[in-house]
Amino acid sequence: MKRNVLYGFLGLLVLFNLVLGVKVLTLNASADSEDAGYENLTVFTRALQLIRQDYVDANKIGYKDLTYSALRGMLGSLDPHSQFMEPTDFREMQDETRSEFGGLGIVVSTKDGVLTVVSPMEDSPGFRAGISPGDQILRINGTTTEKMSLQDAINILRGDPGQKVVLTIFRPSSKETRDFVLQREIIKVASVKDAKILDPSAAGNFKIGYARITQFNEPTAQELDQRLKELQAQGMQALIMDLRYNPGGLLMSAVDVCGLFLPAKTMVVYTQGRDASQRREYYTAKNAKQRPNFPMAVLVNSGSASGAEILAGALKDLNRAILVGDTTFGKGSVQSVIQLPDGSALRLTTAKYYTPSKQVIHEKGVTPNIKASLTADQERALLLRHRDGLLSPDEQRFVNDQKDPQLDRAVDALKGVMIYNQNDKQSQATPQ
């Protein structure tokens, strides 16, 4: 028994040195001394020894179970996005970057301590059921989420296709609480939608293109590149890129999309951790081929998060686009995923994102150049428009009756820029 405890102590000592002791080597801002670190590890291992020795249920005191529980608690105490992942959780997390996976199609985060819907993915069970950004998930299958970690919630929401999940949702806008019964299915993600030239009734004599990015995955930049080529072939003079309800995705995908509009080797975002040496800068590709510098507007709202905020922040800071809408969600922290020897992993917040003008994104969001908000009915109509023909006659009439002030303000802004550019060219061409 003593030998087992000793081996356990040595193994945990190595593990905790890897997880916690790095600060002794790389960080000089910590108030903890090395001696204090080992003193606290002694407290931990003594507690582990007592649990192994005296706890009443022998089937609950395996080293693996106790270590995993300790790691879950330790990572969960840091922030909502730092998590310990068992090997199965880690494999499921890797599926997030692919084009399809099993689940409900709901992107969730923790906001003010409450499990909150960032955005439902289009063409998913959550989207079709009418779950909206900002909805608070109070219970999952009858289990309260009050003390549930974000990773545990995601694990329950995801699973085999065909299984039903009951979500108890509180909607702050209407003060309504109701149950949604959803059935898991394979979620297929199309990242670029509704690419078109706006109708002349909205754009007037100008050909204003429109494209909506639902999230950033591996093929997003290539998909958008192809759609832009098609719009340019139709004579596009300006572009509106819609990032509303875009919950983010892959960082490098967002950087690659920046490369479609900015010069090669342009810094679009950087990360900064506790130590200056942890700064990392992200640039557009050195061989990126920039398109014509047509006027551009980007639509954002409180459902625009992570990668969407990086793209919006870069285009705003570098004066490439006018931002229209509401302040974005404010999810701008960097999670490094570090695999451990047994196939488990740490998702650890190690830095925060900053826009090129040194504006922090996390918990602040990106503020638009032109503030424009939607009413509750207009927001509902906007989400219904994304259902691609799945509307009832009553829903279609409702949608037709509602305007989109954010899109209208973006169109007006681009018209103003193009009229100014035309007048400027004419004045330069006129002999003085």
Q: Find the CATH number of the domain harbouring 143.
A: 2.30.42.10
Q: Which residues of 342-368 are buried (b: 16+ CB within 10 A; e: fewer)?
A: eebbbbbbbbbbbbbeebbbbeebbbb
- Read off the CATH number of the domain in which 383 is found: 3.90.226.10
User: Do residue 251 and residue 380 come from a single domain?
Assistant: yes
Residue 82 maps to a domain: no
Query: Which of 155, 188, 221 delimits the end of a domain?
Result: 188
Residues 6+ apart with CB under 8 A from 137: 108, 115, 116, 117, 145, 153, 167, 168, 169
User: Do residue 205 and residue 151 come from a single domain?
Assistant: no
pLDDT of residue 330: 93
pLDDT of residue 432: 56
Catalytic residue among 109, 256, 331, 344: 331
pLDDT of residue 20: 36
Residue 361 maps to a domain: yes
pLDDT of residue 406: 98
How far apart, in Å, are the Cα atoms of 290 and each of 78, 257, 261, 262, 417?
Answer: 41, 11, 6, 6, 20
pLDDT of residue 39: 84
Residue 239 maps to a domain: yes
User: Do residue 233 and residue 171 come from a single domain?
Assistant: no
What string of DSSP letters covers 219-281?
Answer: THHHHHHHHHHHHHHTT--EEEEE-TT---B-HHHHHHHHTTTS-TT-EEEEEE-SSGGG-EE
pLDDT of residue 80: 81
Residue 324 maps to a domain: yes
User: Do residue 35 and residue 112 come from a single domain?
Assistant: no
Residue 106 maps to a domain: yes
Catalytic residue among 135, 317, 326, 404: 317
| β-bridge pairing 238-242 and 296-300 | parallel
Query: Which of 45, 61, 77 delimits the end of a domain?
Result: 61
Compute how many other C-beta atoms are within 10 angstroms of the C-beta atom of residue 84. 25
User: Do residue 362 and residue 225 come from a single domain?
Assistant: yes
Structurally, how many domains does the chain consist of? 3
Domain containing 18 equals 2-61
Query: Which of 30, 61, 92 delimits the end of a domain?
Result: 61
Nearest-angstrom CA–CA distance, 250 and 215: 9
Tokens encoding 387: 């259902």
User: Do residue 223 and residue 177 come from a single domain?
Assistant: no
Residue 348's closest CA among 335, 357, 359?
335
Residue 429 maps to a domain: no
Residue 75 maps to a domain: no
The residue count for the chain: 432
User: Do residue 51 and residue 108 come from a single domain?
Assistant: no
> What pTM did the predictor assign?
0.71
pLDDT of residue 318: 97
pLDDT of residue 388: 65
Catalytic residue among 306, 316, 326, 344: 306
Annotated catalytic, 317? yes
Residue 60: DSSP 8-state: G
User: Do residue 167 and residue 264 come from a single domain?
Assistant: no
Q: What is the pLDDT along the chain (432 residues), one digit of tens a residue?
A: 434 433 344 344 433 433 333 333 333 444 456 677 778 889 989 999 999 999 999 899 999 999 999 999 999 899 888 889 888 878 766 655 554 567 898 888 888 889 999 888 877 899 889 898 889 999 999 999 998 888 788 888 888 888 999 999 999 988 999 999 999 998 776 799 999 999 999 999 999 999 999 999 888 999 999 999 999 999 999 999 999 999 898 899 999 999 999 999 999 999 999 887 779 999 999 987 767 889 999 999 999 999 999 999 999 999 999 999 999 999 998 888 899 999 999 989 889 999 999 999 999 999 999 999 999 999 989 988 887 666 778 888 999 999 999 999 999 999 999 998 888 777 776 555
User: Do residue 104 and residue 239 come from a single domain?
Assistant: no
pLDDT of residue 276: 79
Nearest-angstrom CA–CA distance, 362 and 330: 5
User: Do residue 225 and residue 300 come from a single domain?
Assistant: yes
Q: Which amino acid is at 128?
A: R
Q: Which amino acid is at 168?
A: T
User: Do residue 245 and residue 154 come from a single domain?
Assistant: no
Q: Which amino acid is at 69?
A: S
User: Do residue 155 and residue 227 come from a single domain?
Assistant: no
Residue 68 maps to a domain: no
Dihedral pair phi/psi, residue 310, rounded to 5°: -65, -45
Annotated catalytic, 306? yes
Beta bridge partners of 280: 271
Inter-axis angle of helices 220-233 and 251-258, nearest 10? 20
Annotated catalytic, 135? no
| β-bridge pairing 83-85 and 333-339 | unpaired
